[in-house]
Amino acid sequence: MKLRLKTQYNTVPGQQIYVSGNSKILGNWNLPKAVKMNYSNGGHWSVEIEIPDSTKQLEYKYVMADDQGNVSWEFGDNRVISLKGKKPAFIHAEETWHAPSKEEKPLYTSAFTRVVMHPDGLQKSTVSKAKQRLEFRINAPRVQTGLQVCILGNHSKLGNWKKDQPLLLDCEDHFPLWKGSISMAGLKFPLEYKYGLYDTIKKEVVKLEEGINRFIAKPEIDEKEFLYIKSDEGFRHLSKNWRGAGVAVPVFSLKTQKSFGVGDFKDLMDFIDWAEQTSLKMVQILPINETIASHNWLDSYPYKSISVMALHPMYLNLESMGTLKDKKEQKNFQDLQEILNAELHVNYPKVMTWKSRYFKMLFDQEKESFFESEDYKKFFEANKSWLVPYAAFVYLRDKNSSPDFRQWGKY
């Protein structure tokens, strides 16, 4: 199976473009074994290689290396060509180096791709099974709920520029990458098109990208069966940058009647629900990592973390953790809850003293069943690489009354 890769990247003398990937022919991600691409005028780089027919999924990236030893990989996830089922004899991928603007890069983070921008309710895109097919691809993270990336162009398979007949693309499990394909039979070249946004309720294109039409020249492919991949970059939005309102808040300030003298994770969940109801797009919180060093007011400073993994136990919600079987003790804590919640400010020493006591009493009550629970076993197995040394550090910190391990002596 032949694979022809083409990408566009403007280099200067001394720079060379390579392609590296998960196949032996592409060096198995070992840069010294990556495939060297050939340069032609206008910043065009290309290479043609043979891929084993046994390949089920090809992953790769373009990478630039210069004569000074500097290396720069293109941004984002690996490019993927799925080769399950019947494979084409030839694959041609026409691509552009993936380098979103600094304003757009944050939109590729999980906060946006999994929450703020993640689309739902999409219509299925066209997936051609033709022997000669054209697959469109574009990275477009800035797509809000109710909208779907589509293509309009100068052919009936692209809607003939009619806003109610576009080629719909979808992103399935690879958002923000959108894909859709058509048969190349009967296409006339150059093929002109633009990406747009399709309203899934109105059933029509409500926005077309700005600028001149994109186009595809007649491909130089002699094979009878082939896949032509056209990967575009940069959906050209009319308004340049995404804007959204958010709120920055320390979790400890989110105290409610259900708290225990300090805002906790349950309060944060309720706050996030409120943020969603008021159309806020993001909630930024102060650090919530473990800060306990000297067991006094100094530990209340959120930027003095002793672990990048462990979260501060102050933010645990007692009600969510469980109830003490000793009804008298449980009543005592409920009375303390009212007293601590009534204070104008967070009384950190008192909160930590009484919350810690509750943790210990609940642990003593539940430890046998706790250590046998499947949830605990899964958590421990997944986190033991940091959990065990962290537990040892906490034990020695308290035993020696200092977080400074240089003062502990032999242990």
* Same domain (yes/no): 39, 77: yes
Tell me if residue 259 falls in helix, strand or coil: coil
Residue 39 confidence class, pLDDT cut points 50, 70, 90 = very high
The boundaries of the domain holding residue 330 are: 290-372
* Same domain (yes/no): 110, 211: yes
d(CA 324, CA 328): 9
- Mean pLDDT score across all residues of the chain: 94
User: Token pair for residue 227?
Assistant: 């896949």
* Same domain (yes/no): 237, 116: yes
pLDDT at 327: 97
DSSP secondary structure string, 169-199?
Answer: -B-TTSTTEEEEEEE-TT--SSEEEEEEEEE
Q: Is residue 318 part of a domain?
A: yes
* Same domain (yes/no): 113, 237: yes
* Same domain (yes/no): 114, 195: yes
Residue 228 confidence class, pLDDT cut points 50, 70, 90 = very high
pLDDT at 227: 96
* Same domain (yes/no): 198, 111: yes
Identify whether the C-beta of residue 375 lies closer than 8 Å to the C-beta of residue 382.
Answer: no
Q: Is residue 76 part of a domain?
A: yes
Q: Is residue 66 part of a domain?
A: yes
Q: Is residue 405 part of a domain?
A: no
Q: How far is CA 281 from the centre of its chain?
A: 16
CATH code of 94's domain: 2.60.40.10
* Same domain (yes/no): 95, 116: no
d(CA 85, CA 225): 14
Q: Is residue 330 part of a domain?
A: yes
Q: Is residue 78 part of a domain?
A: yes
pLDDT at 66: 96
Q: Is residue 169 part of a domain?
A: yes
pLDDT at 147: 93
3-state SS of 81-123 is EECCCCCCCEEEEECCCCCCCCCCHHHHCHHHHHHHCCCCCCC
Rounded mean pLDDT, 70-83 = 96
Residues 89-139 have pLDDT tens digits of 999 999 999 999 898 999 999 999 988 888 887 888 878 889 999 999 999
Q: Is residue 196 part of a domain?
A: yes
Number of domains in the chain: 3
Range with the lowest mean pLDDT among 41-50, 322-331, 351-360, 401-410?
Answer: 401-410
* Same domain (yes/no): 111, 190: yes
pLDDT at 123: 82
Beta strands in 126-261 (DSSP E): 132-139, 147-153, 167-168, 177-183, 191-199, 204-208, 214-216, 226-232, 246-249
User: H/E element holding 348?
Assistant: helix 348-372
Radius of gyration of the chain from Cα atoms? 29
Rounded mean pLDDT, 338-348 = 96
Q: Torsions phi, psi of 120, nearest 5?
A: -145, 170
* Same domain (yes/no): 122, 237: yes
pLDDT at 127: 82
In this predicted structure, the answer to whether residue 240 has a pLDDT above a threshold of 80 is no
Residues 258-317 have pLDDT tens digits of 999 999 999 999 999 999 999 999 999 999 999 999 999 999 999 999 999 999 999 999
pLDDT at 277: 96
* Same domain (yes/no): 148, 178: yes
Residues 183-200 have pLDDT tens digits of 999 999 999 999 999 999
* Same domain (yes/no): 111, 211: yes
* Same domain (yes/no): 89, 186: no
